[in-house]
Structure 1
Amino acid sequence: MIRRRHLGLIGVAALARPAAAADPRWPNAIVIATASPGGTYHAYGVGLARILTRELAIAVSIRETSGPGENLRLVEEGQAQIGFVTTGAVMEARAERGAARALFAMYDTPFHFVVRRDSPIRSVVDLAGKTVAVGPAGGTGADYVPRMLSALGAEIRPANGSWADLAARFRVGEIDAIAVAAGVPFPAIADLEARRAIRYIPITRDQVARIRLVAPELSASSIPAGTYPSLMTSYETVGLFNIAIARQDMVPSLAFEIVRDVFEFHAEMMEAHPAAAATVPGNFVRNTVLPWHPGAMRYYGSRAVTGVLTGD
């Protein structure tokens, strides 16, 4: 079932840039493919939709999906104009040969593993045979976590579903652990922190190295201490970078304005989700998997002379 949430055009005629809607080739509406409620993609998408609705004078809605794999397909098929994907999803689909093009780099997706504080589980190896929430089928966690843990000798029983439902099942003991791959702080985990005592299972350097043997697209990542109330020290792990994409045939002037608005209203994006702190022009180097959209390249080219590409 298609699920969209529309953000109303509130005063856009007065608030949008005078030239924003000057190109008659722009669409009347934009759909952003995100993920399920309770996750970072969803919150980030709501914030982006609000900004673009106001600044572009176009009705922008979000579409709830299973995550990067579906988002890539929706953009390539023209059912969504913007989609959020991971570098891993692009590599797995060999999408560099398709119609998708990069708009801007979003943020890192660190993997983190959570259990109830009174759980006997002390390491990721102890997850063998346990029921582990990995998120919606087709999402990053569902695609990677079973493979990562299998490389460590831990075969799990993955539980799929929306993060809101999985967190509720975790709270009552139906699920042994949660394995999250998302920008931090992850809303469902932050909510759990407020409701139940939890603990973060560490991943050793040796385990990181073994995981990267089966998924070399993963890179070193960490979650800073204090990101969650009970995370007292930094959490070393692996992660994937996220990229916002569009079809190659998006009007270049529209792509340019989208990229400009994301960076110009950076503080507002951070209010939507703190992970947007990493949505800065300098992180364009984190896209190593997709060609850039010409409109995005025009933005980065116009900013290069100011030093932003290396300074932000």
Structure 2
Amino acid sequence: MQKCAGVMAAVALTTTVAFADAHADKSDWPSSFTVGTASQGGTYFAYGSGWANLVAEELEISGGGEVTGGPMQNMALVHTGDAAFGMTTMGPAAESLNGTNPIAPGLQMTNACAMFPMYQTPFSVTVLSSSGITSIADIPAGARIGFGPAGSTSDTYFPRMMEELGVDFERRNGGWSDLGGQLQDGLLDVIAFAAGVPVPAVSQLEVQTDVNIIEFTEEEQMQIMEAFPVSQFNIAADTYTTLEADARSVSMWNFAIANCDLPASFVEAVVDVVMSDNERMVNIHRAARSTLPENWDKNTVMKWHPGAAKWFTENAGATIAADMIHGDM
């Protein structure tokens, strides 16, 4: 089996190199690129920096991840071209396209295009075991809750979810690593995470102290699904050492995005690097187990970059409507 896996990996690598060679004319490619991620300690930063480095190495072009405020800011950065690539969730993407992104109200960010599916973002709650909190209903009135960076998916949707569930709280923002430290120091009562699992900050907390990872009840899960653009999700028991069973949650899909004006051959080559060898992506972050070609259909919001649409049509059997491809009608 190991020998077989090694052969498959070699074939995948050869395929990627061959694809890159097939696009030897890189005259219109940028000399470098950045990927908008999110705060350090969160899944976006680990995942995004990882695939940026992988692409840079395989395509022999300078590139890397950049710390940002998360999905809302990434939509703005990619739309304006200040970042070639970024990552977003479907909710913030829809708001940005509709002109309700709080970073630039009224601006319809239609120059950010879908590039490839990433993974689902579960919404989860973490507290110190010493708090005695074991359910959403246990969260005391006036609890100090950290919702992640301002403008992030978590900060956009989790406060509304908590209000929907009748939780009274004080809203706090910050990077995930910083909020983890504040929870440990007693400066926060709860952290409400919306990030691919395992969340690095939660994994670090587990090593340093005892935590409770709070799941939603069936009723709470249904209530949130009816009120927000999320779907049912279970956080697998093997995700964290703290969990003894799967934890009930809700989730929202994430997609990598590209500035729509980037050369089609460049974006196609980038997509090929990321999508052609899932094992390498999973080695970057376990959330990439969902970074699979067949998940192309999870994008129902953004128009596709032509280069990305070409790759998925030719390699994943995708049937993408012409009016869902940027520049086509």
2: distance between equivalents of 1:193 and 1:109?
20
1:198 equivalent to 2:211? Answer: yes
1:77-226, aligned counterparts within 5 Å? 77-94=80-97, 98-127=110-139, 128-215=141-228, 217-226=229-238
1:8-23, aligned counterparts within 5 Å? 17-23=20-26
Amino acid at match of 1:246: A
2: distance between equivalents of 1:137 and 1:301?
36
1: distance between equivalents of 2:21 and 2:238?
43
1:290 equivalent to 2:309? Answer: no
2: distance between equivalents of 1:226 and 1:118?
23
**TM-score normalised by the chain length of structure 2:** 0.85
Structure 1 residue 47: Cα displacement: 1.1
Structure 1 residue 125: Cα displacement: 2.8
The 8 Å contact of residues 76 and 99 in structure 1, kept in 2 or not, is answered as: yes
- Cross-structure match for 1:12: none
**Worse-matched range after superposition: 263-272 or 217-226:** 263-272
- Cross-structure match for 2:102: none
Amino acid at match of 1:74: L
Structure 1 residue 264: Cα displacement: 1.9
Structure 1 residue 272: Cα displacement: 1.3
2: distance between equivalents of 1:110 and 1:219?
9
Amino acid at match of 1:68: P
Structure 1 residue 155: Cα displacement: 2.2
**TM-score normalised by the chain length of structure 1:** 0.89
CA shift digits 1:99-134 (9 cap, x unpaired): 111110100000111111121223213323101111
Structure 1 residue 29: Cα displacement: 0.7
SS of the counterpart of 1:88? helix
Amino acid at match of 1:259: V
1: distance between equivalents of 2:300 and 2:168?
31
Root-mean-square deviation over aligned CA pairs: 1.8
1: distance between equivalents of 2:199 and 2:162?
21
The 8 Å contact of residues 148 and 193 in structure 2, kept in 1 or not, is answered as: yes
The 8 Å contact of residues 102 and 245 in structure 1, kept in 2 or not, is answered as: yes
- Cross-structure match for 2:104: none
Structure 1 residue 94: Cα displacement: 2.6
The 8 Å contact of residues 20 and 55 in structure 1, kept in 2 or not, is answered as: no
1:187-266, aligned counterparts within 5 Å? 187-215=200-228, 217-266=229-278
Percent pairwise identity? 38
- Cross-structure match for 2:50: 47
Amino acid at match of 1:31: T
- Cross-structure match for 1:7: none
1:62 equivalent to 2:75? Answer: no
Unaligned runs of 5+ in 2: 1-16, 99-107, 319-329
Structure 1 residue 97: Cα displacement: 6.5
SS of the counterpart of 1:103? strand
Structure 1 residue 145: Cα displacement: 1.2
SS of the counterpart of 1:118? helix
